[in-house]
Structure 1
Amino acid sequence: MQPIVTPQQMAGLDRYAIETLAIPGLLLMENAGRGIADTAVQMIAPSGNRLVHIFCGPGNNGGDGYVVARHLRNQGYEIELFILADREKIKGDGLINLQILEKMDQKLHFGLPQPAGLKKPGLIIDALLGTGAKTPVTGAFAQAVELINEMDAPVLAIDIPTGVNAETGAVEGPAVKADVTCTMALLKSGLLWPPAREYCGEIQVKDISLPHQALQALPADQWLVEAADAAARLPLRRRDAYKNQVGSAAVVAGSLGFCGAAALSAAACLRSGAGLCYLAFPASLNTVMAAKLTEVVLWPMPDHDQGFLTEEGLKTVLTMINNQHACAIGPGLGQEASTCQLVYSLLEQLTLPLVLDADGLNICSRNTAALKNCRADRILTPHPGELARLLNCSTAEIALDRASAARYAAKMFNAVVVLKGGPTCIAAPDGRLYINSTGNPGMATAGSGDVLTGLIVSLLAQGLNSLDAALTGVYVHGLAGDSAKQQFGEAGMMAGDILNKLADALMTLKGY
């Protein structure tokens, strides 16, 4: 997995490399600048315009900009360097690289340029503030951001676009809209979260020769889930396998008006590799479910034609569930009082691996003690609104720092938490966080989450532990969504399209 770090963690890694491993900071800056210059050359090539505007701030981000300027100048590019800092305030490695440029007779402009006097560049490089900035940009920096955005030229940001919070991805004021962002050594957490993703463009990680010993000494606690990570966790079938050996799952779902949610989850469970799926649902919906689902084993539970599950069926449901390998509760379940009591009783008595989604989570938000006291290994799959109800806060508060919210919930409920969104993140109770790399906005469609629930419970039933089932399920779900996008586009995609692409996604990862 590709490690992800916060700005504070990256600063610690830099210090370790410099102070413990005796690697000069000047060398790290040189490596960074050389790599960025390579990307700059590629970005300039299509236009043939060899004029480059580089905006530098007072710190090391500006120092990287000076190194880039030198390498580009050495290759014959015309450099206009705009420095938003007093000369005497530039220190350390940045100052050394600035002095080199001065000795090369590079013309320096201290302060903002006048837009009317600027020639159109082939590339603009943002080396203003970098990952250390935490507050919204103001004054000359805000003016520089506006100028960069107004110029009709490609933009390359160093480490992170100015104005974007490198830890949370928040944008609270003016921010550079980059076409490419070159980040140093490791992915920064803020690059992956909204709204930052709309400002970063293509993200490239530049090797600065940071030794592995640094990350071993100061290990990351966030990772990006990629294809190899999911493929390595997918269960393999024996040549002599039969259906009871490859996973049997129960899904407790459905109510009047929400048959589709139950059907999508149950079908996704089978499509993701489980040998058997049993669906417990209100008996009055049997005609609809029988028409929708051919391969799923149906458990119509007595509901007195009310269209929702009741605590009356608890004993029967428990007996059926306990004969399976895993269980999912919640899609389209409804929140009638008797349904709530059924869910609370199930949580009290179940011990097999469990996925809670949708109304299963909404019901638990009324009685979080039932969720906390559950003895089963459990995976919670909320969207931000459902998580807000569980944590008794607003959706806006969740959106401010989704990573922290997911981690907090995972610790509070001692569960793996899958916080759905763009991107989806998976939090473990011990604080580890995984960010998914697949998926697209077309998956923001009714029923998409129900497909994910069926996929995850299928992987649980096939023997994966809760964390592996969650991060693998999320990756496969996103990959299926990406495949559906190729056929239907984002606007035309439906949950059933994602369901129908699950097999393609699994074949892509498994190779058969």
Structure 2
Amino acid sequence: MIIVTTQQMQQMDKNTIENFGIPGRVLMENAGRGALEILSEYFELEGARVAVVAGRGNNGGDGFVIGRYLMEMGVSVSFFLLSTRERVQGDARANMDLVLDLLAEHSLSQFIEIPDQESLEAAAGILADHDLFVDAIFGTGLNSDIRGVYRDVIELINDSGKAVFSVDIPSGINADTGAVCGVAIQADATATFAFAKAGHILYPGNFYTADLEVIDIGIPGHIAKAQSPNIFLPEPHDIAGLIPARDFNAHKGSFGHLLVLAGSPGKTGAAALCANAAVRTGAGLVTLGVPERLMPVMEPMVIEPMAAALAQTPSGGLDAAALDDIVSLLADKAALALGPGMGTDSGTRELIKSIIPIASVPMVLDADGLNCIADDPDILHTAKAPVILTPHPGEMARLTGKTTADVQNNRMETARNFAETYKVILVLKGAQTLVACPDGAVFICPTGNPGMACGGMGDVLTGMIAAFLTQGLAPESAALAGVYIHGLCGDLLAEEHAVGFSASDMVAGIPCALGTVLS
């Protein structure tokens, strides 16, 4: 699914009207009529008392179109304009005038202006006495906190306990970030126009949006394409198309050999989870390189992967002295996973910073691998091969010099800016994991759930992405497939266990998740 920004959508509307010649009133009519169809599917309208709560802009105009059709259907409709009639302009004014003309013929309908607090107090009881609210207050252009009468009306609607249908986006949600602008309508369903907006998909906007339907209002394809939409919500068929079918006569050598460098005392589980996840995701061969003294501990934990003992620091992490052996190990490998549980000893930092410029295979850099370069992310500019970074918000904060709150408040732009600056693929983990690409494209992962909030999940993800790289997927495809299937694996486990499943359970469930996507 393609997702657009507010600016892109506004430009599409403008170009359709000015350059293609479709009048704005036609687009508004298409929007309102299409929204009515969705409204009729989701809610019982027979005998219902419907309140259309409209602002004075085009969102209100869409609401007037919906209400006009409802009146023609014999539905009792009350229009509440959060302004005065004189302030409504353009296409919205034209549709408001049509509504006013029809009122004389529809005794069950009424039109009430609420421009200020006094008029709200007078109309509050009437407003609350409806079965269904059509929210047409603010559209996608809102970017400041809601105050005054608007805030009070939104709170009244939310407190009513009645069904709510939002037009384009729940009023109060920032269409680009999903943030709540002080207060927002809690919709039961939302109909948006032409394309979904980021605010519909990103938390917390997705919770206020509830069920989302996208309506074709007649934006020509070439006009939409000209805006170069670069935010996407992958669907199952998109992911299935990334994973090539296996030849009948394939063998383990057909699917590449992955090198995983991971582990330190106290963090052996991270190394094992990563390597075992890579096997379960289909890598033909996996070799796990660990500090030499950990070999007796690691070998029983990784049955299918091979293990290689490497030089270690005095405290037991991988050391820079292991570089030559690692270069030899990389000679026949298809990809590298670097970082899970490695620690941040000075020798480990030196090793990681030495590997990045010389590795000739694509790599996934995670966990301590990220922490070891946080003081010098410019080293990513020296990479010879594609690099995929998989930070959680705390690691992202260290990489960018921001606070974790800063990262979480604008996840998409943080991920996109880093990917573009350093020419890497950036997987920003968390609810709705993002995959940001060097060309500015961002994918929002629709899979995953809170039951996955436990240690080791990131190590599993690193192994999965690295396994897809090893099998020959392009870096962007490997990251996207890994993130999506990782989340799906968690969703399948959550169907049986809402919480309490572990990273090891995730590893065991990978084949089932793969089968679900590929079936």
Alignment-mate amino acid for residue 22 of structure 1: G
Distance (Å, rounded) in 2 between the aligned partners of 1:298 and 1:56:
66
From 488, 494, 498, give the equivalent of 2:502: 494
From 387, 411, 421, give the equivalent of 1:402: 411
Aligned to 1:137, what secondary structure does the other structure show? coil
Contact kept in structure 2, 1:127 and 1:158, CA below 8 Å: yes
Distance (Å, rounded) in 1 between the aligned partners of 2:59 and 2:363:
47
Please name the residue that 1:66 is paired with: 64
Aligned to 1:328, what secondary structure does the other structure show? strand
Q: CA deviation at 1:39?
A: 2.4
2:111 matches 1:108: yes
Q: Structure 2 unaligned segments of length 5 or more: list them.
A: 104-108, 115-119
Alignment-mate amino acid for residue 38 of structure 2: T
From 465, 490, 508, give the equivalent of 2:516: 508
Please name the residue that 1:146 is paired with: 155
Deviates more, 1:494-503 or 1:13-22: 494-503
2:79 matches 1:81: yes
The superposition leaves residues 239-279 of structure 1 with CA deviations (integer Å, 9 ceiling, x where unpaired) of 11111121211111111111111111111111111111111
Alignment of structure 1 residues 298-337 onto 2, 5 Å = 298-303=307-312, 306-337=315-346
Please name the residue that 2:263 is paired with: 254
Q: CA deviation at 1:44?
A: 2.7
From 378, 381, 386, give the equivalent of 1:377: 386
Contact kept in structure 1, 2:381 and 2:422, CA below 8 Å: yes
Deviates more, 1:395-404 or 1:51-60: 395-404
The superposition leaves residues 335-381 of structure 1 with CA deviations (integer Å, 9 ceiling, x where unpaired) of 11111111111112211111001110111102223222222211111
Aligned to 2:427, what secondary structure does the other structure show? strand
Alignment-mate amino acid for residue 69 of structure 2: H
Aligned to 1:438, what secondary structure does the other structure show? coil
Distance (Å, rounded) in 2 between the aligned partners of 1:117 and 1:78:
13
Contact kept in structure 2, 1:44 and 1:50, CA below 8 Å: no
From 404, 411, 419, give the equivalent of 2:420: 411
From 228, 246, 255, give the equivalent of 1:237: 246
Aligned to 2:21, what secondary structure does the other structure show? coil
Alignment of structure 1 residues 354-503 onto 2, 5 Å = 354-489=363-498, 491-503=499-511
Contact kept in structure 2, 1:120 and 1:152, CA below 8 Å: no
The superposition leaves residues 15-41 of structure 1 with CA deviations (integer Å, 9 ceiling, x where unpaired) of 111111111211111111122212222
Distance (Å, rounded) in 2 between the aligned partners of 1:117 and 1:163:
23
Distance (Å, rounded) in 2 between the aligned partners of 1:322 and 1:509:
33
Distance (Å, rounded) in 2 between the aligned partners of 1:494 and 1:62:
48
2:284 matches 1:284: no
2:220 matches 1:211: yes
Contact kept in structure 2, 1:331 and 1:357, CA below 8 Å: yes
Aligned to 1:372, what secondary structure does the other structure show? helix
The superposition leaves residues 51-78 of structure 1 with CA deviations (integer Å, 9 ceiling, x where unpaired) of 1111100101000101111122222221
Contact kept in structure 1, 2:425 and 2:438, CA below 8 Å: yes
Contact kept in structure 2, 1:284 and 1:305, CA below 8 Å: no
Contact kept in structure 2, 1:322 and 1:352, CA below 8 Å: no
From 329, 345, 369, give the equivalent of 2:354: 345
Please name the residue that 2:40 is paired with: 41
Alignment-mate amino acid for residue 70 of structure 2: L
Distance (Å, rounded) in 2 between the aligned partners of 1:51 and 1:78:
5
Q: CA deviation at 1:305?
A: 7.5
Alignment-mate amino acid for residue 113 of structure 2: F
2:270 matches 1:271: no
Contact kept in structure 1, 2:64 and 2:96, CA below 8 Å: yes
Alignment-mate amino acid for residue 463 of structure 1: G
Aligned to 2:431, what secondary structure does the other structure show? coil
Identity level (%):
39
Distance (Å, rounded) in 1 between the aligned partners of 2:29 and 2:42:
20
Aligned to 1:169, what secondary structure does the other structure show? coil
TM-score when normalising by structure 2 = 0.95
2:198 matches 1:180: no
Q: CA deviation at 1:88?
A: 0.9
Alignment-mate amino acid for residue 205 of structure 1: V
Please name the residue that 2:117 is paired with: none
The superposition leaves residues 309-352 of structure 1 with CA deviations (integer Å, 9 ceiling, x where unpaired) of 11121111221123210001011111111111111111122111
Distance (Å, rounded) in 2 between the aligned partners of 1:56 and 1:505:
45
Q: Structure 1 unaligned segments of length 5 or more: list them.
A: none
Q: CA deviation at 1:115?
A: 3.2
Distance (Å, rounded) in 2 between the aligned partners of 1:181 and 1:5:
16
Aligned to 2:426, what secondary structure does the other structure show? strand
Contact kept in structure 2, 1:302 and 1:309, CA below 8 Å: yes
Contact kept in structure 2, 1:225 and 1:436, CA below 8 Å: yes
Distance (Å, rounded) in 2 between the aligned partners of 1:244 and 1:61:
58
Contact kept in structure 2, 1:49 and 1:122, CA below 8 Å: no
Contact kept in structure 1, 2:128 and 2:156, CA below 8 Å: no
Q: CA deviation at 1:195?
A: 2.0
The superposition leaves residues 448-495 of structure 1 with CA deviations (integer Å, 9 ceiling, x where unpaired) of 111111111011111111111111211111111111111211x22322
2:92 matches 1:94: yes
Q: CA deviation at 1:149?
A: 0.8
Please name the residue that 2:106 is paired with: none
Distance (Å, rounded) in 2 between the aligned partners of 1:164 and 1:304:
51
Give the superposed CA RMSD. 1.6
Q: CA deviation at 1:395?
A: 1.2
The superposition leaves residues 159-208 of structure 1 with CA deviations (integer Å, 9 ceiling, x where unpaired) of 11111111111224111111212111101012222222222111211221
Distance (Å, rounded) in 1 between the aligned partners of 2:276 and 2:382:
30
2:15 matches 1:16: yes
Alignment-mate amino acid for residue 41 of structure 1: S
Contact kept in structure 2, 1:245 and 1:275, CA below 8 Å: yes
Distance (Å, rounded) in 1 between the aligned partners of 2:34 and 2:274:
46
Deviates more, 1:324-333 or 1:396-405: 396-405
Aligned to 2:52, what secondary structure does the other structure show? strand
Aligned to 1:108, what secondary structure does the other structure show? strand
Deviates more, 1:47-56 or 1:495-504: 47-56
Alignment-mate amino acid for residue 42 of structure 1: E
